[in-house]
């Protein structure tokens, strides 16, 4: 919607300068005309006020479904998922398992030429934002079928599955207004979660390029606003975001977040991790609300070199487990680190054991509700699932 269409407020007509006329009847007529003018202006202002208030509320309404090209093939498959069993919702945070081990032999699920983001729902179906075909795709774990949910118009955008509300969140620029939408409970009609107030530096605004999305247990949404080099958090029902990391318009702390390309929120420690590509690939951590980050991986010879036995960390992707441990995707392997950045070993990939499933470029990672780890190998275009192999997890799920 366009606020400019309403135009500027009408002005009150100035009194006629020759109103110093002593003829009584003319004055009476002028007074009546003035009265009518004032009433008319008041009515116009009242109507415009109502229209403006109404249009401010518009973004909260569901997006008209016909604005998206939705594949007809998808609708039957999607509605069938409403009968699936519910998961327990007592958990205060997402259903990521505190796994200590994953089976090094992975299962190759589906090939996707160019995925920009992946997510897994509570029924182990995989969603893929495919930037090659500009589609949102869904792969069904039970039938091995791959379908398009949105065809052609789906941008290179991060997607995020929120297991507590069974909703798939995504960023979308709708009618030139950047905002966040969701598909609830397998329904293919998108619902608007919030809309920004257009593009810009204000905290109620966003840029059109979003590179990371995270929804915490409370439903607050973290947006990695790449074009503005910052992360903003939109709490539930807020009309504006809060600066979490990065900079304000005229600040020059460009070393903080220049062209961030990925983000993960650690809800346990209230930290935000950001992958940034400027001056070499590295991961920065913004702890407990601080807008100033500390480099924890990469960005030159590592200060943790002695601890990691001369292995140089080149982060491609990262994710945090239920205990706050950090999994870092590097070339041909995934390493694990404790939350205070102590090296804990290679958990998957090269030298993780004979018969291990090999991958080269673990560009994307995500967990399902059981803690199984899904890795997207960019060089092979392959989504691989590594199942949890640790009974210590089971108790943590209840
Ligand atoms: C889990 O790990 C143990 C010990 O490494 C191994 O013996 C067992 O085969 C693994 N289980 C599965 C299902 O891979
Ligand atoms: C957000 O708004 C909705 C709709 O008005 C309301 O039902 C809900 O309770 C609100 N949530 C919070 C956390 O304010
Ligand atoms: C993160 O949380 C874990 C578990 O509560 C704690 O052991 C660890 O010290 C925390 N790390 C940091 C850097 O705060
Ligand atoms: C995080 O910040 C809040 C508010 O400033 C403070 O109350 C809390 O103790 C901090 N938590 C940690 C783990 O530092």
Q: What does the alpha-carbon distance between residue 218 and residue 397 come to, in Å, rounded to a whole number? A: 18
Q: How sure is the predictor about 250, in pLDDT bands with cuts at 50, 70 and 90?
A: low
The pLDDT of 350-359, averaged and rounded, is 77
- pLDDT exceeds 50 at position 307: no
Q: Residue 197 and residue 261: Cα distance in Å, rounded?
A: 23
Spatial distance between the Cα atoms of 263 and 233, rounded to a whole number of angstroms: 12
For residue 238, the model assigns a pLDDT of 92
**pLDDT above 90 (res 236):** yes
| Centre of ligand 3 from the C-alpha of residue 263, in Å | 19
Reply yes or no on whether the pLDDT at 348 is more than 80.
yes
Give the closest ligand to the alpha carbon of residue 61: 2
Closest approach atom of ligand 2 to CA 219: 13
pLDDT higher than 50, residue 25: no
Between CA 347 and CA 167 the distance in angstroms is 30
Which of the pair, 35 or 396, is modelled with greater confidence? 35
Ligand number nearest CA of 236 is 2
- In a mutational test of the pocket of ligand 4, which residue from 242, 267, 268, 270 has the highest number of ligand atoms less than 8 Å from its CB? 270
Atom 11, ligand 1: residue with shortest CA distance: 389
Pairing verdict, β 373-377 and 362-367: antiparallel
Find the ligand nearest to 220 CA.
2
Nearest atom of ligand 2 to the alpha carbon of 236: 13
- Cα gap 69→153, rounded to integer Å: 7
Tell how far the Cα of 11 is from the centroid of ligand 2, in angstroms. Answer: 38
- The pLDDT confidence band at residue 237, using thresholds 50, 70 and 90, is very high
Minimal-distance CA residue to ligand 2 atom 7: 237
pLDDT digits (tens, 9 = 90+) for 93-120: 334 444 578 889 999 999 999 999 999 9
Give 43-80 pLDDT, tens digit per residue.
555 555 444 444 443 333 344 433 444 443 333 233 32
Q: Domain 61-397, what fold?
A: Neuraminidase (2.120.10)
The finding on whether 57 has its CB within 6 A of some atom of ligand 2 is: no
Which residue's alpha carbon is at the smallest distance from atom 3 of ligand 3? 324
Q: Is the pLDDT of residue 169 over 80?
A: yes
Which pLDDT value is given to residue 6? 31
Q: Is the CB of 9 under 6 A from ligand 4?
A: no
Which atom of ligand 1 lies nearest, measured to the CA of 389? 1
Question: Closest ligand 2 atom, CA of 237?
Answer: 1
Residue 103 CA to ligand 1 center (angstroms) comes to 7
The answer to whether residues 283 and 295 touch, using CB atoms and an 8 Å cutoff, is yes
Pull the structure tokens for residue 178.
Answer: 């950047």
Q: Whose CA is nearest to atom 9 of ligand 2?
A: 237
Closest atom of ligand 1 to CA, residue 390: 1
The per-residue b/e assignment along 145-162, b for 16 or more CB within 10 angstroms, e otherwise, is ebbbbbbeebbbbbbbbb
């Amino acid at each position: 919607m366009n606020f400019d269409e309403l135009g500027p407020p009408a002005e009150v007509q100035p009194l006629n300068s020759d109103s110093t006329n002593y003829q009584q009847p003319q004055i009476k007529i002028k007074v009546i005309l003035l009265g009518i003018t004032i009433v008319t202006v008041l009515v116009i202002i009242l109507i415009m006020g109502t229209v403006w208030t109404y249009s401010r509320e518009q973004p909260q309404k569901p997006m008209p479904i016909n604005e998206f090209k939705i594949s007809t093939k998808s609708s039957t498959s999607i509605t069938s998922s409403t009968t699936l069993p519910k998961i327990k919702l007592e958990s205060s945070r997402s259903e990521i398992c505190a796994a200590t081990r994953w089976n090094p032999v992975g299962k190759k699920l589906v090939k996707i030429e160019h995925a920009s983001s992946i997510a897994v729902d509570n029924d182990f179906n995989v969603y893929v934002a495919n930037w090659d075909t500009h589609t949102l795709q869904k792969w069904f774990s039970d039938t091995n079928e791959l379908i398009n949910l949105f065809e052609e118009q789906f941008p290179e955008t991060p997607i995020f599955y929120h297991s507590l509300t069974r909703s798939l969140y995504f960023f979308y620029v709708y009618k030139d207004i950047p905002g966040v939408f969701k598909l609830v409970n397998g329904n293919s009609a998108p619902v608007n979660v919030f809309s920004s107030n257009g593009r810009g530096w204000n905290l109620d605004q966003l840029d059109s390029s979003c590179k990371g999305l995270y929804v915490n247990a409370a439903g607050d949404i973290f947006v990695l606003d790449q074009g503005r080099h910052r992360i903003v958090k939109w709490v539930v029902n807020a009309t504006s975001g809060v600066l979490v990391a990065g900079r304000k318009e005229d600040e020059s702390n460009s070393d903080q977040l220049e062209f961030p390309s990925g983000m993960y929120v650690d809800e346990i420690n209230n930290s935000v991790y950001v992958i940034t590509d400027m001056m070499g690939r590295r991961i920065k951590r913004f702890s407990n609300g601080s807008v100033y980050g500390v480099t924890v991986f990469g960005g030159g010879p590592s200060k943790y070199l002695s601890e990691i036995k001369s292995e140089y960390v080149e982060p491609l992707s990262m994710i945090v487990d239920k205990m706050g441990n950090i999994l870092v995707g590097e070339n041909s392997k995934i390493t694990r680190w404790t939350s205070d950045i102590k090296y804990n070993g290679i958990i998957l990939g090269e030298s993780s054991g004979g018969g291990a499933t090999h991958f080269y470029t673990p560009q994307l990672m995500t967990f399902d509700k059981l803690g199984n780890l899904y890795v997207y190998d960019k060089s092979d275009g392959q989504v691989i699932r590594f199942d949890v192999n640790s009974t210590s997890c089971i108790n943590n799920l209840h």
